[in-house]
Chain A
């Protein structure tokens, strides 16, 4: 029995060793790393769906080459992400690595990829060091730099004359970055700056404090489940009609189905929305809804753009995957149809794009609560860190 067990065990290990890479052909391999398990897996699901849709739109040929996308699950852990990246680079020998939701995972994975001489296409996380002092020619971010979105909200609230605001975020790096970005453009009075515990479920205590201070407006950053909880409790406390609520990354197409009316009237800023008026976007949204029966979310839109960007670069080099320099140069031109319309790269390989004010409103036709663009806050906005990036452009 025991011998059989040990034999089985090592056989399993050997089998996985032997299941090596396919014989090298002129095939394009893209490694896509995201979070597919656990509660955050819903985000990864959207990103994967969008990548698949992009492949469908390209007839499964990115840049004219037969393409294989290998998906990896980082489990929201930097060291697992790094291991997955290692596996993709060394075992599957991918030509590009793309994806990554979380800043801390990106900080671990990007150097691994760029260190191996491959291009990292970030389709979500945009930590400031990689936009500034630690920028790298092989690291290209097609989504945004973390601070840009709250900067847009700060500017909007400043310009629209909101005198004082109560700001809240979870007590971790992203939370602090969001509030820092907000304060970079908002110069009014900050009634209070409150950090809550990461993953906290019950905000009643904070809401009571907030009500006692009676600010003119509230600005929060509560991604994922935290946002759902905060919104519901804010609504139940009766504050929805009394104190206007502004946020970033709190209300989106993933959390809306869980809160519905509790989010009505909420203001957000973003660089993309399902109703953004570009032909590529209309096609993307319509096809996504048809194929997956739900509204796409910005994580997905960015991943779609990431694949299209790779497509444009490979096309430009006529399928020469070995010439990394040429690929990077081609990517910098951003010569692809972004879902966001006007799109360009800055000298730090991060996007220059528009930011819009969105509002959660009830759609008359379907009765659903959806995000709709109200106005443009920033045109061709650059991030705050590009001057710290010393790489040659």
Chain B
């Protein structure tokens, strides 16, 4: 069976990412392991946003909130001496899901620009809440006491293990998203995005489906948050700032919405571009800004749109 070009491209990208640690060791450049690990963590956040944005049409400007919640769940427990990864990550996922459900319950009643603004408002409120939590460092943030301990299964302190762990999670999430959007549940969401009145006419009320998708996306992003704090070994409320949400949003849009490869491509492109440009000139924002404008004007369907296969089937 001939696989569609997009799937081939995605597998090629994943293979390249898997090759980074040995390549980096070969070239004696361990820094690239860290760089790509950070990129993959943001790719996971972008994948989760793509679920509700690309397929569901819900433009959430508050997605970074879950990075923060996931991060703080791990950080706060570690601060109090609880280092078990199972407990920490369980709280990260559960907490993010809960908050996403709460925020979603209110926000999904609106749509369009109003939805954008209200999700932005909620994330700003969480950000100000984070700043005022003096016990946990306030806006200075706090160090992670120790990395999550998964009772010997995976050692997050070992760069290679951590890297492949992130890669595995990212691949799993790509697969999970693919299954979700191609399931009956996913079809309702995509139908509601494309033509809401007609979806209602056939008897589906989009609200509970959207809320469920929003909650799932929040939980997935919470995992990204837990990974991020283990990666930087430091967390600040700034993880929840609306500009961070904007960055994740741009990764999804730039990469190409409603595609499996899109979020990954977007994350890789944006973060590598930033890394290259900042090394060149202090006026890198000038060039990044121009590139963003040009890419929107010319790459209508994002980077993934450059690949053949026009159906958004993931």
Chain A residues at the B interface, C-beta cutoff of 8 Å: 1-2, 5-6, 9-10, 12-13, 16-18, 20, 36-38, 41, 72-73, 75, 77-79, 82-83, 86-87, 89-91, 103-104, 107-108, 111-112, 127, 134, 171-174, 176, 198
Asked whether A41 lies within 8 Å of B34 as measured between CB atoms, the reply is no
Residues of A within 8 A of B228 (CB): 79
Separation of A92 and B138 alpha carbons in the complex (Å): 33
Residues of A within 8 A of B269 (CB): 9
Least CB distance from B53 to A in Å reads 23
Residues of B within 8 A of A82 (CB): 232-234
Q: Assuming the A-B contacts A17-B27, A172-B131, are A37 and B285 also in contact, with contact meaning beta carbons closer than 8 angstroms in the complex?
A: yes
Asked whether B282 lies within 8 Å of A41 as measured between CB atoms, the reply is yes
Separation of A334 and B170 alpha carbons in the complex (Å): 50
Residues of B within 8 A of A9 (CB): 269
Separation of A176 and B140 alpha carbons in the complex (Å): 11
Asked whether A172 lies within 8 Å of B27 as measured between CB atoms, the reply is no
Residues of B within 8 A of A41 (CB): 282
Residues of A within 8 A of B308 (CB): 2
User: CB within 8 Å of A: which of B150-195?
Assistant: none
Q: Assuming the A-B contacts A2-B307, A83-B38, A198-B131, are A173 and B138 also in contact, with contact meaning beta carbons closer than 8 angstroms in the complex?
A: yes
Separation of A108 and B35 alpha carbons in the complex (Å): 16
Identify the closest chain A residue to B284 (Cβ): A37
B140 interface neighbour in A86, A171, A173, Cβ under 8 Å: A173
Q: Assuming the A-B contacts A79-B234, A172-B138, are A90 and B276 also in contact, with contact meaning beta carbons closer than 8 angstroms in the complex?
A: no
B139 interface neighbour in A10, A86, A112, A172, Cβ under 8 Å: A172
Residues of A within 8 A of B16 (CB): 10
Separation of A9 and B254 alpha carbons in the complex (Å): 14
Least CB distance from B259 to A in Å reads 13
Contact of B79 with A by CB under 8 A: no
Asked whether A108 lies within 8 Å of B29 as measured between CB atoms, the reply is no
Asked whether B134 lies within 8 Å of A176 as measured between CB atoms, the reply is yes
Identify the closest chain B residue to A195 (Cβ): B132
Separation of A2 and B304 alpha carbons in the complex (Å): 9
Residues of A within 8 A of B196 (CB): none
Asked whether B236 lies within 8 Å of A104 as measured between CB atoms, the reply is yes
Identify the closest chain B residue to A14 (Cβ): B23
Residues of B within 8 A of A176 (CB): 134, 138
Asked whether A1 lies within 8 Å of B306 as measured between CB atoms, the reply is yes
Q: Per-position contact with A for B302-314: 1 when CB-CB < 8 Å, else 0?
A: 0100111000000
Least CB distance from A2 to B in Å reads 4
Residues of B within 8 A of A2 (CB): 306-308
Asked whether B141 lies within 8 Å of A20 as measured between CB atoms, the reply is no
Asked whether B134 lies within 8 Å of A20 as measured between CB atoms, the reply is no
Separation of A73 and B23 alpha carbons in the complex (Å): 26
Chain B residues at the A interface, C-beta cutoff of 8 Å: 9, 16, 23, 27-32, 34-35, 38, 131-132, 134, 137-143, 228, 231-234, 236, 238-239, 269, 272, 275-276, 278, 282-285, 303, 306-308
Q: Assuming the A-B contacts A16-B276, A17-B29, A90-B29, are A107 and B140 also in contact, with contact meaning beta carbons closer than 8 angstroms in the complex?
A: yes
Least CB distance from B294 to A in Å reads 13
A111 interface neighbour in B9, B132, B143, B303, Cβ under 8 Å: B143
Identify the closest chain A residue to B228 (Cβ): A79
Residues of B within 8 A of A75 (CB): 278
24 contacts between A and B (CB under 8 A): A5-B306, A6-B9, A6-B306, A12-B272, A16-B275, A17-B27, A17-B29, A17-B32, A18-B27, A36-B282, A37-B278, A78-B141, A82-B232, A82-B233, A82-B234, A83-B34, A83-B38, A87-B31, A89-B31, A104-B141, A104-B236, A107-B142, A172-B139, A198-B139
Identify the closest chain B residue to A109 (Cβ): B234
A78 interface neighbour in B35, B234, B272, B307, Cβ under 8 Å: B234
Q: Assuming the A-B contacts A82-B232, A108-B233, are A127 and B282 also in contact, with contact meaning beta carbons closer than 8 angstroms in the complex?
A: no
Separation of A145 and B138 alpha carbons in the complex (Å): 18
Least CB distance from B75 to A in Å reads 12
Given contacts A6-B306, A82-B232, 13 further A-B pairs with CB under 8 A are A20-B29, A37-B283, A41-B282, A72-B278, A75-B278, A83-B35, A86-B34, A87-B35, A104-B140, A107-B142, A107-B143, A171-B131, A173-B134
Separation of A108 and B284 alpha carbons in the complex (Å): 24
Residues of A within 8 A of B138 (CB): 172-173, 176
Identify the closest chain B residue to A16 (Cβ): B276
Q: Assuming the A-B contacts A104-B139, A176-B138, are A79 and B232 also in contact, with contact meaning beta carbons closer than 8 angstroms in the complex?
A: yes
Identify the closest chain A residue to B35 (Cβ): A83
Least CB distance from A200 to B in Å reads 12
Asked whether A78 lies within 8 Å of B232 as measured between CB atoms, the reply is yes
B238 interface neighbour in A36, A77, A103, A112, Cβ under 8 Å: A77
Identify the closest chain A residue to B32 (Cβ): A17
Least CB distance from B132 to A in Å reads 7
Identify the closest chain A residue to B305 (Cβ): A2
Asked whether A90 lies within 8 Å of B9 as measured between CB atoms, the reply is no
Residues of A within 8 A of B236 (CB): 78, 104, 108
Most buried by B among A16, A82, A108: A108
B278 interface neighbour in A1, A73, A134, A198, Cβ under 8 Å: A73
Identify the closest chain A residue to B12 (Cβ): A6
Least CB distance from B228 to A in Å reads 7
Residues of A within 8 A of B29 (CB): 17, 20, 90-91
Separation of A77 and B141 alpha carbons in the complex (Å): 11
Separation of A20 and B23 alpha carbons in the complex (Å): 13
Residues of A within 8 A of B34 (CB): 83, 86, 90
Least CB distance from B140 to A in Å reads 4
Least CB distance from A387 to B in Å reads 21
Identify the closest chain A residue to B28 (Cβ): A20
